[in-house]
Amino acid sequence: MGSELKKAIDQISKDRGIDRDLLVDTLEEAVRSSVARKYGDAMDIEVNYNEDIGEIEVYQFKVVAEEVTDEISEIVLSEAKEHDPNVQVDDEMGFKLKIEDLGRIAAQSAKQVIIQRMRDAEQEIIYDEYKSRKNEIVSGIIQRRDRSGWIINLGRTEAVLPKNEQIPRERYKRGDRVQAFLIDVQKEARGPQITVSRSHPDYMTALFKREVPEVDDDTVKIMGVARDPGLRAKVAVNSLDRDVDPVGACVGIRGSRIQNIVQELRGERIDIVVWSQDIAVYAQNALSPAIISRIAVDDDEKILEVVVPDDQLTVAIGRKGQNVKLASRLLGWKIDIFTESRYGEMNAASKGMDQLASVAEINLDNFISAGFETVNQIARASEEILMTIENMTPSKVADIKSAIKLLGMGEDEESYMEESLRIKQASLEEAEGKANVPEEETEDVSVVETETEESKSEENQTSETDKEISE
């Protein structure tokens, strides 16, 4: 019996990966609980595992008394002397109990305690193991679906792939093998709660580390990732070695490395962007494949005014605003995109407004605050309306009207109407561009177009105009 128990302890310790001393302590506690259930807590016992004989030994301790009032905790002196002739009253004596005497119920109870303690110990081991694997890629088999998402069997435990961490339009069925990024491990009463993701930006980084040795050894660093999961992503890279091309390293020979990542993400297109400390250069790279004419940088507000040729607007925006949205998210800057023609009109209008503000000796912001953004608006406004501008006087109104006539501003009614229509059209198209960007992104992306045909042709843009390095 003893050797069988010892073998069982060794086998369980090996198979379940449970510390042997912890298992022995669990067995001792289980036997102690069983004795207490049968005889009550009043019994003074000591439980030990005898390593030499491979058995659990239980000793009951009783106090020697002249007269016994509690048979569980006391022994009469005459009976005690039969065991030890030198014993005296108030001495404590130990008697070995037979485990078999615990009975069937006690034995079953001990078994349940052992199983529960083993389960607790195993769950603790699993928790520690997966806690240390946080931010790593794990692999498992789709088990089932519940309200929280897909349940994935990882082998020793399960993980959940929540709906908001899935790649949209990805479909699974029971038995499918799937990889995911371990983002969280929580300790709960029912066992470790493991959460994984396939849409997390860091999953992209982990895939690059796995597929690209230069990324794994930090020769090439991933500086940022912006994803529209399942559709498109932009990954910023930087090489710490002048002799290593970061883009070439990530793409691999004939695209072998990048294609492995694209395949794992079910066809998600990936743009490899060269990172730069110069935000203008970085933005130009991030907006690729669009050709950029010039970029104005507002460091205080973190806003970029990007000007592109008229025929590059749809390329810069991308389908449903995807290209500019991902570039903005990658940089962490707001991006306003203008065509060259629209930018020229805005500058011309701004220059005229500056001249009128100078003539009136009133700050340009006062005109804008009062709702005047173009010369024509001022030219057609009545004196009463112009007086609503802060610091405006009747004499300054007269000076403005004279300057408009002298400089030939606002004389052509048709030109005024055309300009109004252009401004209105640009506003409508800007609103349309923003409507195609998720709500959380609209404050970071602004697009100004010049012609309705450009926005109409966006959906018909061929893959050649939106070509990525991965292709």
Mean pLDDT, to the nearest integer, of 144-155?
90
Q: pLDDT by residue (tens digit) across 388-411?
A: 888 889 888 888 888 877 766 654
CA distance 203 to 137: 8
Predicted confidence at residue 24, as pLDDT, reads 80
Predicted confidence at residue 182, as pLDDT, reads 95
Can you name the CATH fold of 202-275? GMP Synthetase; Chain A, domain 3 (3.30.300)
Beta bridge partner(s), residue 220:
239
Q: For 17, which DSSP code? A: -
- How far CA 4 is from CA of 13, 46, 47, 113, 298, in Å, comes to 14, 22, 19, 19, 78
Q: pLDDT by residue (tens digit) across 17-62?
A: 777 787 788 777 777 777 777 777 778 888 888 888 777 788 888 8
Exposed e or buried b per residue across 291-300, where buried means at least 16 C-beta atoms within 10 angstroms of its C-beta: ebeebeeeee
What totals of helices (H) and strands (E) does the chain contain, helices first? Answer: 18, 16
Question: Using 50, 70 and 90 to split pLDDT, how confident is the model at 168?
Answer: confident
Residue in 399, 375, 248, 273 with CA at minimum distance from that of residue 331: 273
Q: pLDDT by residue (tens digit) across 327-359?
A: 999 999 999 988 888 776 666 666 677 777 888
How far from each other are the two terminal CA atoms of the chain, in whole angstroms?
A: 69
Q: pLDDT by residue (tens digit) across 60-76?
A: 888 888 888 887 788 88
- Tell me: pLDDT of 135 over 60: yes
Domain 133-199 has CATH 3.40.50.300: no
Under a CB-based contact definition with an 8 Å cutoff, are residues 413 and 296 in contact?
no
**How many residues does the structure list for the chain?**
471
Question: Using 50, 70 and 90 to split pLDDT, how confident is the model at 161?
Answer: very high
Mean pLDDT, to the nearest integer, of 419-435?
50
Question: Using 50, 70 and 90 to split pLDDT, how confident is the model at 228?
Answer: very high
Q: pLDDT by residue (tens digit) across 104-116?
A: 555 565 566 667 7
Question: Using 50, 70 and 90 to split pLDDT, how confident is the model at 201?
Answer: very high
Under a CB-based contact definition with an 8 Å cutoff, are residues 415 and 377 in contact?
no
Q: Using the Cα atoms of residue 29, residue 30, residue 35 and residue 41 in order, give the sign of their dihedral.
A: positive
CA distance 287 to 234: 10
Q: Using the Cα atoms of residue 126, residue 127, residue 128 and residue 132 in order, give the sign of their dihedral.
A: positive
80 or 101, which is more confident: 80
Say yes or no: do domains 2-128 and 133-199 share a fold. Answer: no
Q: Where are the domains of the chain?
A: 2-128, 133-199, 202-275, 300-471
Query: Which contiguous run of DSSP H or E holds residue 208?
Result: helix 201-211
Kindly give the pairing relationship between strand 149-153 and strand 158-162: antiparallel
Question: Using 50, 70 and 90 to split pLDDT, how confident is the model at 215?
Answer: very high
Under a CB-based contact definition with an 8 Å cutoff, are residues 167 and 184 in contact?
no
Compute the half-sphere exposure of residue 85: CA atoms within 13 Å on the CB side of its CA: 0
Give CATH superfamily name and number for 2-128.
Answer: NusA, N-terminal domain (3.30.1480.10)
CA 436 vs. chain centroid, Å, equals 23
Q: Where are the beta strands (DSSP E) in 114-199?
A: 137-146, 149-153, 158-162, 177-188, 191-197
